[in-house]
Chain A
Amino acid sequence: ELKVEQNPLFLSMQEGKNYTIYCNYSTTSDRLYWYRQDPGKSLESLFVLLSNGAVKQEGRLMASLDTKARLSTLHITAAVHDLSATYFCAVDKSNTGKLIFGQGTTLQVKP
């Protein structure tokens, strides 16, 4: 059974600091997705990572994928309050688009 685990589950940080969220998964997959969810809102797609070594960046967020280690990271650079949200990673089960989600990491950026 495919399991996806995120670490940490809650992160409180000061504006301007850097931090990394980790996403480990238990079986082979080369398709990983990162989503953002604001309170009371739906999921917004951030990154789609489709191969080993893939790296994508958007603003202060950068995501990478290491399929051999079954690990993806979401790196936050110089955090700002607007980044406060819950971040989910998800792995594609069976390459069909059926996503198995991690527990989510709630990020709180304090001024």
Chain B
Amino acid sequence: GAGVSQSPSNKVTEKGKDVELRCDPISGHTALYWYRQSLGQGLEFLIYFQGNSAPDKSGLPSDRFSAERTGGSVSTLTIQRTQQEDSAVYLCASSPLGGAYEQYFGPGTRLTVT
């Protein structure tokens, strides 16, 4: 079946611009996660959605970052007023129920801020 998909695969933006990154989880998966992978910081948790519960935003690095999940499916990660330190690969993952279930990762969006 279809895995987790993300778009765009690559995004180059100028410093100060806003960007939106999209994630389509595996159908039926109620849990959705965003992570960031960068050379300096490694793999970092950003935000977690589980069903209709309020998202866990504890990993978001600043208030320029926000995310939403519509209809319990597609999620969008928005970065406002991008900075060069935002350059990274943004990975989305989903799992059937969260918790102990394994997470299936998408291919990622490589964001470059110039």
Chain A residues in contact with chain B, CB under 8 A? Answer: 31, 33, 35, 41-45, 48, 50, 88, 90, 92-93, 95-104
- In the bound assembly, the distance between CA atoms of A78 and B107 in angstroms comes to 30
Choose one: B50, B98, B103; the contact of A45 (CB below 8 Å).
B103
Q: Which of B17-55 contact A (CB under 8 A)?
A: 31, 33, 35, 42-45, 48, 50
Q: Check A48 against B102 for contact (C-beta < 8 Å).
A: yes
Instruction: Give every chain B residue within 8 A of A41 (Cβ-Cβ).
Output: 107
Known: A97-B48, A98-B48. A33 touches B42 (CB 8 A): no
Chain B residues in contact with chain A, CB under 8 A? Answer: 31, 33, 35, 42-45, 48, 50, 56, 58-59, 91, 93, 95, 98-108
Q: Check A98 against B105 for contact (C-beta < 8 Å).
A: no
Q: Nearest 6 A-B pairs (CB), nearest first?
A: A101-B43, A43-B105, A97-B98, A42-B105, A45-B102, A48-B102
